[in-house]
Amino acid sequence: MRQSQKTENKADYLRRVTLEGSEQTGARSVVSGEKRTQNGLLREKVLDRNNLNRAFVHVKRNKGAGGIDGMSVEELGPYLKENNVKLIEALRTESYEPQPVKRVEIPKPDGSKRQLGIPTVVDRVVQQALQQQLSPIFEKVFSDNSYGFRPHRSAQSAVKKVVAYYNQGYHYVVDLDLKSYFDNVNHDLLIKFVENYISEPWVLHLIRKFLTSGVMNGRFFEKSAKGTPQGGNISPLLANIYLNELDKELTRRGHKFVRYADDCNIYVKSKRAGERVLKSITQFLEKELKVEVNAEKTQVGSPLRLKFLGFSLGVGRNSAYPRPHQKPKQRIKQELTRITKRSRGVSLDRILHEIKQKMQGWIQYYSIGKMKIFLQQLDKWLRSRIRQYIWKQWKNIGTRYKALIKLGLTPKQAKIYVNTRKGYWRNAHSKTLLMTITNKRLAQRGLINLSKLYQSIQAKA
DNA sequence: CGCACGAATCT
RNA sequence: AUCAGAUUCGUGCG
Ligand SMILES: Nc1ncnc2c1ncn2[C@H]1C[C@H](O)[C@@H](COP(=O)(O)OP(=O)(O)OP(=O)(O)O)O1
Ligand SMILES: [Mg+2]
């Protein structure tokens, strides 16, 4: 009730604002917009001042590091102000040459390396401007079962789709994983797929320029004969255009599937069907789309064990539900261990704040999953962990005794307790600490209550 | 709904 | 050092 009223008010407010502010300017900009694009050239939409400016703001907002020329996003504004005419002219005449991307390696969760390709900040603006115009065009043709990198489509909704499939009796899943997907995209095929929807040579040319701009790996230049850079603004869109062909094939074959970037799950009703599908789709991907299927990682199995977008499925009385997979659970717990570990230097307030923002984000994402028990255990563990931390802190300052009295112990009791020599963990569990540093006091100090937060988020959904 | 800043998650 | 897309949440402004 309250909710709908709130949204109504907000909608009314917005309607009012738009009516008040822009009756005239709105009409004018529509006219001029049509004028600019009356010949229907995508090129002019991309190079439109407004579009380029949006692209610039977007790149600047990200605050990402610079590319091979070392220009930062702070320097970007002044540079563009100075050179925008030349830049636009170069783009229009197809004489614009994107710079090579900068090779940077970052660790993946599994320990291996991810090879980023970081374009120049200027190139990022151009890519973004192009992406902004291409995205709405391709959104119209993309599959309803594709979720990754797409506006208005969340990982959570992909997971919900999976749950729905399971509840429809599809209890086996073919989990396909592509090896270094972006790096293996075939240029010619990609351009061909783009061409099916956009015939304008200027666009195709510009995309190819970005694909073939090469890589600077340290002092060495490397050609880019295949792949779209992990770090390019249009790369995710291009990746979806590429695998849209897979979506079309899966749809043609009548499969139930969900795709998130290169993570494609096909749902079937028997293991044998799964094996058959795995074989033929692998064939299709490698022969027709020329991408590498990760033989070890891809498999047919049960959604109850599989990790998809951080979730796996659990099964209740007669229906399935999502829940956080073991891996993310372990990961977040060891993150909390790390946060509460470095005892010296950081204040308790900072630590509690750090825990709060981390866990708010985490629970927010996983809130569509079942995890009440996990969070209750985590709450308990965390409280002990913090008591331990406080105890240690008191020791450092040498005020255990005073602190205990302040929390309600008599001087005699405090004296006895202060002199005990137990491990921190046992102290944290001990009755004295539990009584003095109560849950309530921890909460007042700012320790977040995970299961409570979880319930309140669930109540809204 | 738009913008600025902060954060989390997925790929 | 470390990029990109997308989705969420929080604070503030319109
Ligand atoms: N942090 C990132 N920055 C930019 N692009 C990313 C990032 N993470 C993932 N991607 C894009 C590029 C990847 O090719 C694609 C699929 O991600 P992912 O499957 O995790 O890695 P991968 O396919 O490159 O290697 P792997 O062989 O380990 O599967 O999503
Ligand atoms: Mg992959």
What does the pLDDT profile of chain A (461 residues) look like in tens digits?
333 444 444 544 455 554 444 443 333 333 333 334 456 799 999 999 999 999 999 999 999 999 999 999 999 999 999 999 999 999 999 999 999 999 999 999 999 999 999 999 999 999 999 999 999 999 999 999 999 999 999 999 999 999 999 999 999 999 999 999 999 999 999 999 999 999 999 999 999 999 999 999 999 999 999 999 999 999 999 999 999 999 999 999 999 999 999 999 999 999 999 999 999 999 999 999 999 999 888 999 999 999 999 999 999 888 999 999 999 999 999 999 999 986 667 888 899 999 999 999 999 999 999 999 999 999 999 999 999 888 887 776 667 778 878 888 888 877 777 777 666 666 666 788 888 899 999 998 999 999 999 999 999 88
CA-closest candidate to residue A155, choices A304, A457, A366, A330? A366
Among A175, A181, A185, A237, the mutation site with the greatest number of ligand 1 atoms within 8 A of its Cβ is: A181
CA distance A250 to A244: 10
Q: In whole angstroms, how far apart are CA A142 and each of A173, A201, A209, A267, A374?
A: 22, 22, 24, 20, 37
CA distance A261 to A396: 50
Q: What is the CA radius of gyration of chain A?
A: 28
CATH 3.30.1130.10 fits A154-185+232-307, yes or no: no
CA distance A70 to A30: 38
Residue nearest to nucleotide C7 (CA to C1'): A154
CA distance A84 to A328: 45
CA-closest candidate to residue A116, choices A210, A183, A204? A183
CA distance A451 to A377: 9
Pocket lining: A182 vs ligand 1, CB cutoff 6 Å: yes
Residue nearest to nucleotide B4 (CA to C1'): A61
Helix (H, G, I), strand (E, B) or coil at A321: strand
Q: In the complex, which nucleotide's C1' lies nearest to the CA atom of residue A457?
A: C9
CA distance A289 to A186: 8
Whole-prediction pTM: 0.91
Distance in Å, residue A12 CA to nucleotide B2 C1': 15
Contacts of residues A65-69 at CB distance under 8 Å and 24 or more positions apart, as own/partner, are: A65/A118, A66/A118, A66/A120, A66/A121, A67/A99, A67/A101, A67/A102, A67/A118, A67/A119, A67/A120, A67/A121, A67/A123, A67/A124, A68/A99, A68/A100, A68/A101, A68/A102, A68/A118, A68/A120, A68/A216, A69/A99, A69/A120, A69/A122
Q: Which residue has 């490397």 as its token pair?
A: A222
Distance in Å, residue A453 CA to nucleotide B8 C1': 15
Say yes or no: Cβ of A17 under 7 A from any atom of strand C. Answer: yes
Residue type at A237 in one-letter notation: L
Pocket lining: A231 vs ligand 1, CB cutoff 6 Å: yes
Distance in Å, residue A282 CA to nucleotide B10 C1': 24
Is the confidence metric ipTM above 0.95 for this complex? yes
